């Protein structure tokens, strides 16, 4: 497995070894000890799956009191996946990183607790699965505007298809006092 630290070093891109032959392919999608060695020592408590069509943008989402870490993979299709640092006091506060994830590459993005997450679909359809370190709590949810100018994500879609909740999401300024503080090293 190839492990690449992104420009925000807590966000990690994993490229598992895919064994291909004339029958198809095989890969390990998760093995706790190897991910722990790469800096992902979390226990996962919830798995999620979504299927979306081209142009759909989901995000930016985070939780306030019980932040979720997410190990995200696109199992079918192609997405642009984004992590935004929401940890006040962090040297990378409000910076974002993005990676293209595809079912064929079987790559994964680790989005740590304290980060917002979102993705947009680049293929005709995409199926996305992700493991979470905390259960989803709708009363703890933050929905941040996908096009917030202070964050400035460079999405590869101009007019995304949004859910109603994402369409009316607040800008980051409305959430600032509720954001978590970065932990001291």
Question: Going along 64-151, which residue ranges are E strands?
Answer: 70-76, 78-85, 96-102, 108-111, 115-121, 125-132, 141-143
What is the sign of the dihedral through the CA atoms of 76, 80, 85 and 91? positive
Residues 29, 73 contacting (CB under 8 angstroms)? yes
Q: How far is CA 51 from the centre of its chain?
A: 15
Q: Which residues are catalytic?
A: 61, 130
Closest CA relative to residue 101, chosen from 141, 138, 73, 137 = 73
Q: Select from 140, 141, 137, 133 the least CA-distant residue to 45.
A: 133
């Amino acid at each position: 497995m190839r492990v690449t630290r992104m420009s925000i070093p807590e966000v990690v891109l994993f490229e598992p070894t895919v064994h291909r032959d004339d029958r198809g392919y095989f890969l390990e999608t998760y093995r706790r000890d190897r991910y722990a060695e790469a800096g992902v020592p979390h226990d996962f408590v919830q798995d999620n799956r979504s299927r979306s069509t081209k142009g759909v943008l989901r995000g930016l989402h985070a939780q306030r009191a019980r932040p979720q870490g997410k190990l995200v993979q696109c199992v079918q299709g192609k997405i642009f996946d984004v992590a935004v640092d929401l940890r006040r006091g962090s040297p990378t506060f409000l910076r974002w990183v993005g990676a293209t994830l595809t079912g064929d590459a079987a790559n994964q993005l680790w989005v740590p607790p304290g980060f917002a997450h979102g993705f947009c679909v680049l293929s005709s359809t995409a199926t996305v699965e992700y493991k979470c370190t905390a259960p989803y709590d709708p009363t703890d949810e933050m929905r941040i505007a996908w096009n917030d100018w202070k964050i400035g994500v460079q999405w590869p879609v101009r007019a995304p298809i949004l859910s109603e909740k994402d369409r009316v999401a607040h800008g980051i300024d409305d959430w600032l006092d509720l954001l978590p503080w970065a932990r001291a090293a």
